[in-house]
Amino acid sequence: MSNSLKQMFEKKDSRILDCVELFPNIFKDDRGSFIKTFHKTAFKDLGLDYKFCEEYYSRSYKNVIRGLHFQMPPMDHSKLVYCIEGSVFDVIADLRVGSPTFGMFDTFNLSAETANILYIPRGIAHGFCSKTDISTMIYKTSTLYDSDADAGILWNSIDIPWPTKNPIISERDKQLISFKDFKSPFVFQDL
């Protein structure tokens, strides 16, 4: 990898195998800032999925918890998430049977200020809690959204230290299956 690509993102491994937190360069001047969130060659050189099919965003009020979401095979996907307004307490949980980190979770503080990015491979559930009045999250996924494959596990069925005592949760997310009752179709593949 060339030096310019190495300097594009600082990579920090998560405690969940294959998940990484990326810190892009932030270019600031008297106009504001400029941040590159994706670069195909840099992602390829970092060993990350770089073939994204869809991008969308969500806006959430303070104390909203979304998650823990994923798509079932064959529509499962790698995901790239980052916060462009406000800040969130971001969570991933490993659902890959046979993974050394199966059933474990990791947490991150994603914010517009730090511009950090979370890369999430297939077989990992994702969720977050908005910590500010409004938080805007961007998602890139390697497969298209499929309502039949859309799934999740109950937000409080893993011992995650959510930063609110009064979460705002959708009716759909309240009905998700608990982690202990979830029969995972995801199988860890050691590269």
What is the C-alpha separation between 2 and 149, in angstroms, rounded? 39
Classify residue 186: in a domain, yes or no: no
CATH number at residue 113: 2.60.120.10
Tokens of 87: 């800040």
Average pLDDT of the segment spanning 59-74? 97
pTM over 0.85: yes
Q: What is the pLDDT of residues 130-161, one digit of tens each?
A: 999 999 999 999 999 999 999 999 999 999 99
Classify residue 190: in a domain, yes or no: no
Classify residue 189: in a domain, yes or no: no
Classify residue 191: in a domain, yes or no: no
Classify residue 187: in a domain, yes or no: no
Number of domains composing the chain: 1
Catalytic annotation, residues: 69, 139
Classify residue 8: in a domain, yes or no: yes
| Interior angle at CA 19, CA 11 and CA 153, nearest 5 | 150
Range of the domain at 7: 3-181
